[in-house]
Amino acid sequence: MLEIQHLHKQFGSVTALDDVSFNVEDGQITGLIGQNGSGKSTTFHSILNFLKYDGTIRWQNKPVTESVFDRIGYLPEERSLMPKLTVEQQIVYLARLKNKPAREIRPQIDNWLEKFAVKGKKTDQIKSLSKGNQQKVQLIVTLIHQPELIILDEPFSGLDPVNADLLKNAILEARDQGAAIIFSSHNMANVESVCDRLVMLRTGELVLNGSIEEVRNQFGKSEVYVTTPWPETRLAKLPHVVQVTHIRDRRFVLHLDDPTAGPEVFEQLTNGKYIEEFSQQPPTLDEIFRMKAGIDHE
């Protein structure tokens, strides 16, 4: 388990992290979200001892020192590959920095390239690959030594939906093998689809911390998804409906000022008759993100 306690980091007059505490459990995936400048990368750099900080960071009840770096896989937001090396040379070189011998890594490379559907051969130079395929190679480098702690800074950046699914599957596989995983993303759909827990930072402060379900339920079931022939103007007149969002065709979201008004809305909308859809839900992560890190906090 990764334990972060009372993490504080100051850059001159700027407080990058202010008393941040959370855990990343073995066999779980934690999503670290927040706007640009919220402190996500500073948190990662603190875990990896790239900078000095105040507070305590421990991995398996011990300080994070060079002795455990071989057990950590880190994907930085910016690519750090060497363009003139071949794919094989790059993978072997970085794996050897993790104390994995070339004779152990080379036989795995073809399988990893196939697993991530890399368009290119292991004899191709890195610079000859597209940006998306370079990203895949960097992901392979991050995972091929089977790390126990995996830190991914915006791993889905530059990946289309198909390739993003390949990455999600790899992350889930590593989780099932017992790795503790933390990654940052601006895409709440990616966070919601793979994460067990969520941590949100805003200007260096922790504002959300819990399971996906716990975080969503904090905000109450204030949204009702309905499929109905009623026009938007009529839906807006239902009790406690403060906003109506038209999704498509006859499907709408009714935003309530009081989640307990759901039964009353249901009764008036259906009048005892069949309705195709009526589903009362908490806000989506995307909506929660906007609420907690919206314009007022930019």
pLDDT in tens, 9-60: 999 999 999 999 999 999 999 999 999 889 999 999 999 999 999 999 999 9
Residue in the block written with tokens 């990058």? 16
Instruction: Give Cα separations from 9 to 53, 183, 209 (angstroms).
Output: 5, 20, 19
Give the pairing type, strands 180-184 and 29-33: parallel
Q: Could you report the per-residue pLDDT of 112-137, keeping only the tens digit for each?
A: 999 999 998 999 999 999 988 998 99
Residue 131, pLDDT score: 86
Burial (Cβ within 10 Å: 0-12, 13-18, ≥19) of residue 112: buried
Residue 298, pLDDT score: 38
Q: How many CB atoms lie within 10 A of CB 3?
A: 15
Cα separation, 282 vs 223, in Å, equals: 6
Residue 195, pLDDT score: 94
Q: Could you report the per-residue pLDDT of 164-200, keeping only the tens digit for each?
A: 899 899 999 999 999 999 999 888 888 988 999 999 9
Shortest CA distance to 184 belongs to which of 52, 36, 28, 14? 36
Shortest CA distance to 68 belongs to which of 77, 59, 76? 59
pLDDT at 297 over 60: no
- Work out the pLDDT band at 156, boundaries 50, 70, 90: confident
Instruction: Give Cα separations from 254 to 87, 130, 229, 287 (angstroms).
Output: 51, 43, 14, 14
pLDDT at 3 over 90: yes
Burial (Cβ within 10 Å: 0-12, 13-18, ≥19) of residue 190: buried
Instruction: Note the helical H segments in the chain.
Output: 40-47, 87-97, 102-115, 131-143, 161-176, 188-194, 212-217, 232-235, 262-270, 285-292
pLDDT more than 90, % of the chain: 80
* Gyration radius (Cα) of the chain, Å: 23
Cα separation, 108 vs 117, in Å, equals: 14
Shortest CA distance to 47 belongs to which of 26, 65, 32, 60? 65
Cα separation, 183 vs 158, in Å, equals: 15
39-48, 62-71, 93-102: which range is least confident on average?
62-71
Torsion angles phi and psi, residue 98, rounded to 5: -95, 15
Residue 296, pLDDT score: 42
Cα separation, 184 vs 172, in Å, equals: 15
- Work out the pLDDT band at 294, boundaries 50, 70, 90: low
Residue 77, pLDDT score: 84
Q: Could you report the per-residue pLDDT of 41-51, keeping only the tens digit for each?
A: 999 999 999 99
Beta carbons within 8 Å of 152's beta carbon, 6+ residues apart: 74, 75, 142, 171, 181, 182, 183, 184
